[in-house]
Amino acid sequence: MSTAAAIILFAAVTFYAIFGGADFGAGFWDLTAGGAKRGERPREIIDHSIGPVWEANHVWLIFIFVVLWTCFPEAYASITLTMFVPLTIAALGIVLRGASFAFRKAVFRTRLQRHFGAIFAVSSVLVPYCFGAIAGGIASGRVPAGGQAGDPVNSWINPTSIVAGLLAVSVTAYVAAVLLTWDAGRLSDDTMVGYFRIRAVAAGVVAGVIAFVGLFVARNDARYLFDGLTSRALPLVVVSVLGGLAALVLLRGRPHRGGRLAALIAAGALIFGWGVAQWDYLLPESLTV
Amino acid sequence: MMHVFGGLLILVPMEVDPVPWARAQMAFTLAFHIILVPLGVSWAAMTLIANYRAIRHGDRDALRLAQRWSKYMAVTFAVGAVTGTVLSFEFGLLWPQFMGKWGEAFGVPFAFEGLFFFTEAIFISIYIFGWRRLKPWPHFWSGVPIPVAGIFGSASVVAANAWMNSPQGVTLDSTGMIVDVDPVAVIFNDAMPLMAAHMIIAAYLVGGFLIASVYATGMLRGRRDRYHRLGFIIAFTVAAIATPIQMGVGDGLARWVYSNQPVKFSAIEMVPQTSSDVPETLLGHLNSSGEVTGGIPIPGLASWLSDPSTGRSTVVQGLDTVPADQRPTIREVNVVHLAWDIMVGLGTLLFLFTLWYWASWIFRRDMPQSRWFLRCAVVAGFLAVVTLEAGWTVSEVGRQPWIVYNKMKVADAATTNTGVWFTFIVVALLYVGLGITTILVLRGMSRRARREPRFEETDVPYGPRETADRPQVRAG
């Protein structure tokens, strides 16, 4: 029973990471799109892309909470007690992001749009970083079992958390760039296809490098995770790498539907790989499923 | 500005008892979110009423109303969605021991709430997208799931809150830990039906008065066109139907509290010692030695209302029947009693106001035209929100010191994190900013709508991007 719940939990985390992550990543490109004039067209594509689904993806997050507190209440209490600060930042970031995205569309003066846009974009980077840092803290065994509070600072400011946070930002940026390339292709905007394609490649390379560095960090800082990643989770790691490369290949020329799928698989396999790597610990190495 | 932040950062390590701050933060964020709830639940229904009229009677003003309301609704829905997400964070951040112990039961209604929220978000999106892409009737039907999901969603959330008042459906072992949960009994606990009905009808009442007050303001400023009149009538009629029903449901709920949460009831009615022939004291307060001071007592009314069949001889349990650490403090009793007086008083006032409206329809076949009526309608929007907040205060403060009635105390449920006072300040500032911005954005949208009457669905959250090959604008 609890095994099934844990699998559902990691599946929900994976879905939130790829679907919610794509929304956050779009915010990253919004942030880096440059001034109002230069960044106008990319921002239009971003708006078009996430407009209809925006914020509905948080339902995955709520679902994660619900599964956690219903099936693993003790672990949930431990996580919220230990990760109070990054969770609070993430919550506030979600408020700022969702509200300012809505406001930006509803106001018409450029100056106001720019203000709301900046809030939207900055919080879009902050939130995935915090979630990544929390995941890193959990994976490296810094959250104790038994509804206890761990170290309030070291639990999310530590080598594994920093790498995981950066990885989260780069992966969301990568997935978003791939999806945006495809969206631009659907709108037959070749300039923007090229614009987002180059960014997808860049983000993919950066994510790859961070993941590679992360393996070495984990070897010293999160041994259980490292052992898992290099044994039972190895197939998923390979799938993730292949998916990431395949997506970039499929983006050449006219964007291909498969590229989108490959990018989602790459991100999904990475997150699910984390779950498999720390199996059967929910909180390594103190609380098992 | 940086200086202020710097100063605050130095203060962060300061250790302050987290319990009052956690309560304050939860209360503040809920008080904010609860204002958006009526809009999410009832505005969609009013939009559909206008939409129905537009298609049925070819009414262009009604169509314009429905189109604009769907836009404004998208903004308030967005703010409601994110502030709602924050609440799900706070359950864990502020009340980890509560979630750790009772999460298995308390979490159940939230799973359903998540589903309904998702449904609501999807259909809001389809409805806004559909204005020019769907035929009129399919488009209308694509909007119907929004208020339905809103009703079931709020029923689910209220079920969770009701469970805290009436914790059923759990089997505990000898150490008090949950060993078995019956999800159906958790959701449909004894307190749930009346509490859910009270909240959903409140959503229609408050939403109706609030939106009517906006159109009343417009009419007072001389915009006495058919469009404003229609906007007012739809919203106010919804409120005028909900208000009398709400009085009946509220009365039933009070009697449920009388039978099932006697201590909460004695706080509401401010009854220090058990007795019969208890007066209904309007206003007034308990002094430091726990005696009723001031106020206007109406002899025997509280007893009579508690159970009319036994009249003034009905016995009302007093606060002193339970030890002091198992009942609200004197200060809390005073808050509950005052909030109760405000809720009942303003609710009655709003009810009398709707009688004016109905009387005018019956005798003059039209809504009241006088400026005084419109002025009252403007104030009623504000008063309805105050009534809602007061009612919610009665429910929450009246349950103190329990977070789970007679099973767990608030103080035992709270986080041990001593920095909560700081997050409370940050959250409060952020939410004040959010509230002001929301109002300004809505006002800006309405001004623009007056300047450029042509309807654009592209400048709305959830709306599509402008495309070159835009199809023709449908009727209106």
B170 interaction partners in chain A (CB closer than 8 Å): none
Quick one: closest CA in A to B95, which residue?
A: A77
Reported confidence tier of residue B22, pLDDT bands at 50, 70, 90: confident
pLDDT of residue A188: 82
B415 interaction partners in chain A (CB closer than 8 Å): 80-81, 84
Reported confidence tier of residue A152, pLDDT bands at 50, 70, 90: confident
A68 interaction partners in chain B (CB closer than 8 Å): 103
pLDDT of residue B472: 37
ipTM: 0.77
Quick one: closest CA in B to A94, which residue?
A: B82
pLDDT of B395 > 60? The answer is: yes
Measured distance CA(A57)–CA(A89) in Å, rounded: 18
Is B430 within the bounds of a domain? yes
Of A56, A68, A84, the CB nearest to B121: A56
pLDDT of B203 > 90? The answer is: yes
The residues pairing with B286 across neighbouring beta strands, listed in sequence order, are B292
pLDDT of B365 > 50? The answer is: yes
DSSP states of B223-239 as a string?
--SHHHHHHHHHHHHHH
Count of structural domains, chain B: 1
Q: Are strands A287-288 and B285-286 parallel, antiparallel or unpaired?
A: unpaired
A62 interaction partners in chain B (CB closer than 8 Å): 85, 88, 110, 113-114, 117
Asked if B416 is an interface residue toward chain A (Cβ–Cβ < 8 A), one would say yes
* Structural domain range at position B428: 25-252+412-466
Cβ distance of B461 and A105 shorter than 8 Å? yes
Instruction: Give the percent of chain A with pLDDT over 70.
Output: 97
Q: Where are the beta strands (DSSP E) in B186-343?
A: 275-276, 280-282, 285-286, 292-293, 296-298, 315-316
More confident residue, A104 or A274: A274
Mean pLDDT for the stretch of residues B354-365: 89
Is B384 within the bounds of a domain? no
Testing the interface with A: which of B73, B85, B445 to mutate, by most A Cβ within 10 A? B85
pLDDT of B9 > 70? The answer is: no
pLDDT of B301 > 60? The answer is: yes
Q: How far is B148 from chain A (nearest CA, A)?
A: 17
Instruction: Give the percent of chain B with pLDDT over 70.
Output: 92
More confident residue, A74 or B145: B145
Is B123 within the bounds of a domain? yes
Nearest to A173 by CA among A22, A25, A20, A14: A25
Cβ distance of B82 and A99 shorter than 8 Å? yes
Cβ distance of A69 and B92 shorter than 8 Å? yes
pLDDT of B213 > 90? The answer is: yes
**Which tens digit of pLDDT belongs to each residue from A241-262?**
999 888 888 877 676 778 888 8
pLDDT of residue A54: 55
Of A52, A61, A65, the CB nearest to B129: A52
Asked if B74 is an interface residue toward chain A (Cβ–Cβ < 8 A), one would say yes
Is B385 within the bounds of a domain? no
Mean pLDDT for the stretch of residues A105-131: 83
Mean pLDDT for the stretch of residues A156-169: 92
Mean pLDDT for the stretch of residues B228-246: 94
pLDDT of residue A51: 63
Tokens of B283: 């206003």
Is B440 within the bounds of a domain? yes
pLDDT of B3 > 60? The answer is: no
Cβ distance of A103 and B460 shorter than 8 Å? no
pLDDT of A235 > 90? The answer is: yes
Mean pLDDT for the stretch of residues A156-162: 91
Mean pLDDT for the stretch of residues B115-136: 84
B437 interaction partners in chain A (CB closer than 8 Å): 99, 103
Instruction: Give the percent of chain B with pLDDT over 90.
Output: 29
Testing the interface with B: which of A16, A43, A59 to mutate, by most B Cβ within 10 A? A59
In the predicted model, what is the mean pLDDT of chain A? 86
Reported confidence tier of residue B237, pLDDT bands at 50, 70, 90: very high
Is B111 within the bounds of a domain? yes
Testing the interface with A: which of B93, B181, B416 to mutate, by most A Cβ within 10 A? B93
Asked if B183 is an interface residue toward chain A (Cβ–Cβ < 8 A), one would say no
A74 interaction partners in chain B (CB closer than 8 Å): 100
pLDDT of B202 > 90? The answer is: yes
B220 CB burial (10 A radius; 0-12, 13-18, 19+): middle
pLDDT of residue B455: 60
B102 interaction partners in chain A (CB closer than 8 Å): 73
Testing the interface with A: which of B12, B25, B75, B99 to mutate, by most A Cβ within 10 A? B99
Is B165 within the bounds of a domain? yes
pLDDT of A206 > 90? The answer is: yes
Is B51 within the bounds of a domain? yes
**Which tens digit of pLDDT belongs to each residue from A211-229?**
999 989 999 998 888 998 8
Quick one: closest CA in B to A109, which residue?
A: B444
pLDDT of residue B467: 46
Testing the interface with B: which of A66, A76, A126 to mutate, by most B Cβ within 10 A? A66
pLDDT of B453 > 70? The answer is: no
A91 interaction partners in chain B (CB closer than 8 Å): 85-86, 89-90, 93
Helix/strand/coil (H, E, C) string of chain A? CHHHHHHHHHHHHHHHHHHHHHHHHHHHHHHCCCCCCCCHHHHHHHHHHHCCCCCCCHHHHHHHHHHHHHHCHHHHHHHHHHCHHHHHHHHHHHHHHHHHHHHHHHCCCHHHHHHHHHHHHHHHHHHHHHHHHHHHHHHCCCCCCCCCCCCCCCCCCCHHHHHHHHHHHHHHHHHHHHHHHHHHHHCCCHHHHHHHHHHHHHHHHHHHHHHHHHHHHHHHHCHHHHHHHCCCCHHHHHHHHHHHHHHHHHCCCCCCHHHHHHHHHHHHHHHHHHHHHCCCEEECCCEEC
**Chain B window 123-152: which residues touch A at a Cβ cutoff of 8 Å?**
125, 129
pLDDT of residue B147: 93
In the predicted model, what is the mean pLDDT of chain B? 85
Reported confidence tier of residue A161, pLDDT bands at 50, 70, 90: very high
pLDDT of residue B462: 56
The phi, psi pair for A283, rounded to 5°, reads: -120, 95
Cβ distance of B100 and A74 shorter than 8 Å? yes
Q: Confirm if B274 and B314 have CB atoms less than 8 A apart.
A: no
pLDDT of residue B463: 58
pLDDT of residue B469: 39
pLDDT of residue B13: 57
**Which tens digit of pLDDT belongs to each residue from A12-60?**
899 888 888 888 888 889 888 877 778 888 888 888 777 655 567 788 8
What lies within 8 Å, CB to CB, of B311 at 6+ separation is B300, B303, B304
